[in-house]
Chains A and B, each alone.
Chain A
Amino acid sequence: MKRTVLAAALMAGLALPAGAQDLRIGLMSTLTGPQAVTGQHLRDGFMLGVEHAGGKLGGLETKVTIVDDQLKPDVAVQEVEGLLKRDNVNIVAGVVYSNILMAVYKPVVESDAFLISANAGPAPVAGNRCSENFFNTSWQNDQTHGAVGKHVSDSGIKKVFLLAPNYQAGKDGLTGFKRHFKGEVVDEVYTKLGQLDFSAEIAKIQSAKPDAVYTFMPGGMGVNLVKQYAQAGLKDKIPLFSAFTVDETTLPATEDAGLGLFSASIWTPDLDNVANKRFVEDFRKKNGYVPSYFAAQAYDAARLIDAAVRQAGGVKDKAKLRAALRQAKFDSVRGAFAFNKNHFPVSDFYLVEAAKLPDGAPAMLKRKLVFEKYADDYAGECPMKW
């Protein structure tokens, strides 16, 4: 044991000039299985962020170890153990799915490393289980649902039909929508997780005759729903609103069926700021596809780390690094970026529509502002002060 430590120290000494620090990051993403495309976006976004810093986040030699959680909490816990113990990472970043984040949350925030979620934002970690070692560069899950709810309400729609998969995130999503939707819910239908044929639900919608439908149907489920909804001839009759359902990861598959559908987001590829232009352009050039919010938030996570490490003068002083992270002095692709007390960003939320970029590639484009500087509903439960 002692010998290996000594050998590792020697090797580290050989690899680096004396006194130099390096930065070790574990990037956790979902890279295999049906939802791998979201994880791919996240990874590619983060890596572009590293590349834009010349491979040296905060000026330090940066080693990113990418691990695949396979969307399995037990696998994620194992992988994160490896990152913390074997790779000795300073920061664990990434994490697409909330159940994965909940699984790795405790091990990471109780270690010496920071945890920076680039996507998942479950309620507990925004509320009473918030941590000074945890940051989030996306949103709290309910916010996007709430933003759609507000828009649907604002546009005078009275009766909605709600549809989500039968699991915690599905129920939370519809609850988030209802918090800001003031009209009547004509029916609330929960489908089996992983269900791919929605003919029965679509027939129910037809029969219930609502003014609009709101759904949260991530991944392949959403692709199917959107296609089948259009095939049933309902798209132009009963507007279909959604969150985390129609985006740049699913539009290539839904194609025309998805175009014209509305959702909400903190970011779109057409947001007009310098950082975003550079990000979208370089991302498309490098990866050959249009980035989604998964990629944008991960890119922001990398840029946040870059700025904070630079400001803190390295990663040795954890308190200093934390203070720098809190200040978040970087040019976010979403424009202004600021953390709330619970380390979740306070962001503007836009109504977005699936449409085509000038070159014809489908993407979610900004239509109007729904919430300005929207703080999540759980921040009040977080006891953290700074």
Chain B
Amino acid sequence: MGTAGPMLEVSGLQASYGAGQVLFGVDLRVGEGEVVTLLGRNGMGKTTTVNAIMGLLAPKAGRVAFCGRELTGRPAHEAARAGLGLVPEGRQIFPNLTVRENLVATADGRGAWTLSRVFDLFPRLRERQDQMGGSLSGGEQQMLAIGRALMTNPRLLLLDEATEGLAPLIRKEIWQVLLSLKRAGQSILVIDKNLKALKRIADRHYVLEKGRIVWQGSGAELEAERERLERHLGV
């Protein structure tokens, strides 16, 4: 864990959709170079947390700070420019742009990530670079979504549902890539249901239940308390 204080610091985050409150005070931290997971059953507020961090949803209360910058209530493009790279739930690639255009349209062009590095990471994308985004398979779309986020040279990658609904072979490929990213020092906040794979790459875990963090700890601690936590995790 980094010593110079956390990179992302979320405290007391509350959010709601209209009258229905979903988050009731979420606290979490991600340090430099860390891979952290956010676990929880369906509908517990994981995506809402991510959206509130990104500024896609204005929080009701609480605070989001990233690399010492106050992001609470700021528009999403500021969060992105501050270094948050979002791979959203449902992938949300631009269907009417080619693979290559999806990657370069929002690239920041000032960091280490280039088109060819992304293509090296996901060779399938290189083959399909002139294909429209909408014509890709689900797995390819997820690769594209990850590549697209990397092209913004994020300091922290936010992955909402990293492998949801993908074929086993593709999942494997994606976990492999995430592992290599971690090894290269990339900080990641990842949401997924695949505990086994997550445990292999993650440093720490948070468990979210009904809009509150109900547990946090290392992979070993998670294993030790697994039976007690099973109910919260829904796995």
* Chains A and B in contact, CB within 8 Å: no
Question: What residues make up the interface of B, taking CB atoms closer than 8 Å to A?
Answer: none
